[in-house]
Amino acid sequence: MKRIVLSLEFLDELEELFDILVEQGFFSYDEYALKYIDDIEHFITSSIHAYPKRKAPTLFAKYGTDLKYIAYRKNAHTTWYILFEETESAFFIRHITNNHVSGQYFNAD
C-alpha cells in the first residue's frame, strides 16, 4: 500500500483552519475544531487509496506537478478538496481548499 505524506504546507493549512474555526466562531470549543480537522485527516488516510481521483484544475499547479484531488463532503454546506501528487509509492498531500473558497474551479461533486 502507498504511503501517505502530509507536506509541511498542508499541515500549516490545517493549523490555519483550526485558527479560523475557533476565531470566527464556527466552533465554541477548541476540542470540536480539533475533531473537525481530525475527521479530515482520517478521511484522507482511510479513503485516498480507493476514493475516485480527479485531475486538479491547472490553477492549482503552484502546489505541485500533475496534481489530483479527492473531494470530501463534510456536511451539507462544505466540501473539502484535497490536492496531492501520486507516485508509485506514495501520495503527497499538498493543499486543501473548500467549496466556499474555490468550489467554482472544481467539477460538481
> What pLDDT digit, counting tens, does each position of 47-73 carry?
999 999 999 999 999 999 999 999 999
Confidence of residue 108 (pLDDT cuts 50, 70, 90): low
Whole-number average pLDDT of the chain: 95
Burial 4-13 (b: 16+ CB within 10 A, else e): bebbeebeeb
pLDDT 10s digits, 14-30: 999 999 999 999 999 99
Measured CA to CA, the distance from residue 97 to residue 32 in angstroms comes to 20
The answer to whether the beta carbons of residues 94 and 84 sit under 8 Å apart is: yes
What is residue 107's predicted lDDT score, i.e. its pLDDT? 73
Q: Cell triple for residue 102?
A: 474555490
- Half-sphere exposure in the Cβ direction for 95 (13 Å, CA): 18
pTM assigned to the model: 0.93
Measured CA to CA, the distance from residue 106 to residue 61 in angstroms comes to 14
CATH of 3-105, one of 3.40.47.10, 3.90.700.10, 3.30.2310.20, 3.40.390.10: 3.30.2310.20
